A and B are shown apart, each in its own frame.
Chain A
Amino acid sequence: MNQIPEIIRVVPVNHYVLLASVIFSIGILGVLTRKNAIIIFMSVELMLNAVNLLFVVFSAYKSDPAGQVFVFFIMAIAAAEVAVGLAIIVMIYRRMRTTDVSLLNSLKG
């Protein structure tokens, strides 16, 4: 069973890293350009997923389980973050009827 899977032999690891970086950049773009808090939050999730992909890829190519365990942690914590985040967004929406961050200006910033 110790043979290297075909994909690892065929695809250079740089391809995966590029893919993850592109997805990560798209996530950053989302955070920067969108105004809806929920979509910004989703863009952050996109970034986290790019990171997950990186970890899994490196873990697979280097044959080291620690990377995948890290992914496990990231997923768990992202879930907690989403729970809190959505609670906050709901709380905001309840008071202000919007989730548009550019409309939230009770703080001058």
Chain B
Amino acid sequence: MNSLYLFLFPLALSGMAYLSGKKAALQQILALAGLLGSGALLYLANSRGLSDQQVNYPWITSLGIHFSLEINGLNFWFLALNALVCFIALFYHINQASKNLRPDVVVLIFGVQAILNGVFMAQDLMLFYFLFEASILPVYFISSRYGSPAAERATLKFFLYTLFGSLFMLLAILYLYAKSGANDFLFSSLFADNLPAETQGWLFLAFFLAFAIKMPLFPFHSWQADAYAESPVESTILMSGILLKMGIYGMLAIVLPHFPQGVTDYGHIFMGLSAFGVVYGALIAMVQYDFRRVLAFSSLSHVGLIGCGILAYSDVALEGVILQMFAHGVNIAGLFVVSELIASGAGTRDLDQMGGLSRQSFGLTVFFFIFLLGSIAVPLTNGFPGEFQLLMGLFGYNIYLGIFCGLTVIFSSVYMIRLFQKSMLGLETDGRAAFPKLNASQTFSLFLLAALVLGLGLYPQVISRISNSAVQVLLRAY
């Protein structure tokens, strides 16, 4: 039952947020409740045994669509990350905009949380698709409404791209449905029998397209930088922190186990492309002058690595994928929060006009540095074990590819250090207003993230213990 609660709980919070209107304190409590509640639910689920948590109700009877949710080893950490990232986004928003709080943003973020929980837990392919598409809407609205003037265009681009991809997924789902002859969309019945190789090929392509656009992997990424740069930071956090994880989850839950033939046929092509994306993203990130664009391209680079890892389908790599997925979510959320705090303090996002901030806000500098380390995957931070395992998997798959992707370790440190240098170090720019100090709740949220960065770097097994079995299941198809 916890799976259902996990879906309904944020929804309920969303309703309460709507009712509580502009009262920042109340909203803050709700946000905390969201984090703690979700955490508690997950913890309980884990302690009582994940397999007991599924629910299955008929939803659209004429097509046999079920409202079927389940918590398992694969989605557990996605759910956890979801709770965390949404909490960060919410907390940031409530804090930052406490003077003119926008209740609709809070409502929508809770909505996103609920929908994403649904996506990760869905065991009915149509339900998955439904929530998968529905998840874009709230983010789209936040981005377009409160983004910069150019956000309209950028977010519409984001919307149309993802819609384009996911409609092919719909086609593939319908095909599967028509093919299976079973009158429902449950994973178990749609993927019951082995599909012929040729069919697997194009089904793979259809699903892969949807998820690759969402992540985004290299050739499908062109919406990303604009959307990240022009949206308000809340939705950027959501997009980078958790929305793109849907793509990863989809790859893991659907593509990898069910279309092995497709993966073997086409996987190497996309692997090559996303490996190229890894380097490409890193190189572009080095020359960007917009704080957020640097982060956007770094994200492209990291996600490319994750994509490679997925397609490499070895147990090491998949372990790494899940670790890196979680780590990336934490890091990127932290970095975006920091970047926004810097930008709002500096009054600009242009790196050339920053500098010397470390002298004004020591706390921020520390947090920035911690997330930076995590992002570069320095040992003892959370980025390290994941990236290490990913690279290992890639070396196992193909040594040249491994070497090529390994470059990212160097490149990421280059652009990250550049970022740090340009903003924090160096000379102070003249005539800037005093930099605001971090307040308590900002410190709290950043501290939470920083703790995770360091904690998971020290003790990554907590993640792999739960996900290990799931990874083994995934690999059974090969």
The answer to whether A and B touch in the complex, with CB atoms under 8 Å apart, is no
Q: Which residues of B contact A (CB under 8 A)?
A: none
